[in-house]
Structure 1
Amino acid sequence: MTLVRLLRGGRAQDSPGDADPGAGLEPDQASGTGPGDGRSGDGRSGDGHSGAEGLADESSADPADGVRARRTRRAALAALTAVLALGGCGFLYGAHRLTSAESARNRALTDTEATHRVAGEVANALARVFSYTPDGTAAAERSARSVLDGRAARQYQDLFDQVRDDLTEQRVTLSTRAVRTGVIELDGDRARLLVFLDQTSRRGKDEATTAAAQLTVTVRLENDRWRIVDLKAR
C-alpha cells in the first residue's frame, strides 16, 4: 500500500339604451302642437336637441376610454420591456467584468515562466517524498519536512507513522515520478495543481508493479520556494 492510496480513502361595458323620441317634451308637444307655435319651436325643440346631444356625448365616451386604456397598456408594456432589456445587459456586463477579473488574476493563463516553475518544483517534491527504500525511509521524511507544510505535512507524517514498520519489514521499495503536471490556478503566492503520478513498487524480490495516481496539490510560496500545503487524492 502506498501513501498516495491512503490519501484516497382580460373587463366589459354596457352600451347605452335607445333614446325615446318624445323624451323631454311636455304634454302639448306630445299631442301634436303645430310647428307654427313659437314656444314649441324656440323652447321645446331646443330641449329636444339638448337631449340628443347628451346621448351622443355618452355614446362617444366609451370608445375614447378604450383607446386611452389600450395606449396606456402599450406604454406600460414598452416600459417593462425596456427595463428587462437594460437589466439583462447590466447582468451580462457584470458577469463579463467578473470573469475578466478572475482570468487576469490567474497567472497560469498568462505567465508561462511562473507556471513552469511551480509545476517543476511540485513534480520534484512529490517524487522525493513518495519514493523510498526499506533502509531509506528517513530520507523521504527529511524531504517531506523541507517541502511540505500545514495540513499536507500533518497528513504525510500521520500516514508514514502507520506504514513505517511495514515498509521496513516487508522490504518495500517505492519509486514515484510525475508524468503530467497541470497548473489550474496561479494567483500571487498561491497555486493549485493537478498532478498525475506513476508509482512503481516492489516488495522484497517480487516482481515490480506500476500503478497510476492523481493528486490535487495546493502550494504556497515561502522564501522564494513553493511548499505543498494540501494534498488530496482523486
Structure 2
Amino acid sequence: MTATQTAPETEPAATGESGPEPRAPRWRTAALATALTALLLGGGAFFHGAHQLRTTPSARNQALTDTAATTRVGGDVGEGLARIFSYTPTSADAAERNAGTVLAGRAARQYADLFAQVRTSLVEQRLTLSTQAVRTGVIELDGDGARLLVFLDQVSRRDKGAATTAAAQLTVTARYQDDRWVITDIETR
C-alpha cells in the first residue's frame, strides 16, 4: 500500500451490545412539558370556575332550587296575610290574635300601630275587609330567611254599602321558626 492509498473502511464488528439509546430531541421534551403545564393550569381554572358557580348568591338561593320549600313559605305567608288583613266589626279581636301568631319584630309593631287606627273606625263605620293573596313570589330563600313579593286583592265594605275592590303589593320578609314561617317585615310597594 502506498501512502496515498487508504485502508479500506471496515464495518465495526457486531458485538451484540447496542450503543446508548438515542435521546429524544429537545423540542419533544419542551412540548410535553408545555402540554402538561397547560393541562394543569386549565384544570385548575375549571375547578376554580366550578367553585365560583357553587358559591354565588343565586346558587345559594333555594327559591331557585327547592320547590317544596318555596311553596311552603309562599303558602304560609299568603295565608297569614289574608288572616290578619281580613276582619269585620265583630272579629277584630280574632284578627289581632292571628297577628300574634303570624307576625314578629318590626311587622308586629307596624300592624299594632295600623290596627289601633283601624279599630276605632271599624266599629263606627261597620267596616268589613276581606283579603286574599292572589300571587306570592319568593324572591330569595336562604335557610330560615325569605323575602317575598305578594299581590293581594282586598274587598272592603262600609256598613251595607257597595263593595270596593283594591289591589295591594307588598314586599315581605319572613323567618322560619317553630315549624312555621313568621312575617318579620312588611313594606308596601
SS at match of 2:86: coil
User: Of 55, 61, 65, which residue of structure 2 is paired with 1:110?
Assistant: 65
User: Of 129, 142, 147, which residue of structure 2 is paired with 1:174?
Assistant: 129
Cα distance in 1, alignment partners of residues 55 and 169 from structure 2: 30
Whether the 8 Å CA contact 2:53–2:59 is kept in 1: the answer is no
User: Of 164, 168, 172, which residue of structure 2 is paired with 1:213?
Assistant: 168
User: Of 151, 156, 167, which residue of structure 1 is paired with 2:106?
Assistant: 151
Q: In the TM superposition, what whole-angstrom CA distance separates every residue of 1:1-34 from its partner, at most 9, and x where no partner exists?
A: xxxxxxxxxxxxxxxxxxxxxxxxxxxxxxxxxx
Tell whether 2:186 aligns with 1:223: no
TM-score, scaled relative to structure 2: 0.72
Tell whether 2:96 aligns with 1:122: no
Cα distance in 2, alignment partners of residues 163 and 195 from structure 1: 22
SS at match of 1:122: helix
Structure 1 unaligned regions, length at least 5:
1-89
Provide the residue aligned with 2:158 in structure 1: 203
Quote the offset at 1:97 in angstroms: 2.2
Cα distance in 1, alignment partners of residues 127 and 184 from structure 2: 27
Cα distance in 2, alignment partners of residues 224 and 204 from structure 1: 39
Cα distance in 2, alignment partners of residues 192 and 103 from structure 1: 14
Cα distance in 1, alignment partners of residues 112 and 150 from structure 2: 21
Residue 98 and residue 162 in structure 1: after superposition, are their counterparts in 2 closer, same or farther (change >3 A)? Answer: farther
Quote the offset at 1:194 in angstroms: 0.1
Cα distance in 1, alignment partners of residues 158 and 72 from structure 2: 34
The within-5 A match list for 1:17-166 is 97=52, 101-166=56-121
Cα distance in 2, alignment partners of residues 100 and 157 from structure 1: 40
Q: In the TM superposition, what whole-angstrom CA distance separates every residue of 1:54-78 from its partner, at most 9, and x where no partner exists?
A: xxxxxxxxxxxxxxxxxxxxxxxxx
SS at match of 2:171: strand
Cα distance in 2, alignment partners of residues 144 and 122 from structure 1: 12
SS at match of 2:121: helix
Cα distance in 2, alignment partners of residues 139 and 189 from structure 1: 27
SS at match of 1:117: helix
Larger Rg computed on CA atoms? 1
TM-score, scaled relative to structure 1: 0.58
Provide the residue aligned with 2:5 in structure 1: none
Which segments of structure 1 move beyond 6 Å, counting only runs of 4 or more?
none
Moved more, 161-170 or 124-133: 161-170
What RMSD in Å do the two structures reach over aligned CA positions? Answer: 1.7
Cα distance in 2, alignment partners of residues 210 and 145 from structure 1: 27
Quote the offset at 1:163 in angstroms: 1.8
SS at match of 2:100: helix
Number of residues paired by the alignment?
Answer: 142
Q: In the TM superposition, what whole-angstrom CA distance separates every residue of 1:83-132 from its partner, at most 9, and x where no partner exists?
A: xxxxxxx9xx88x9278521221000000000000000111000000000
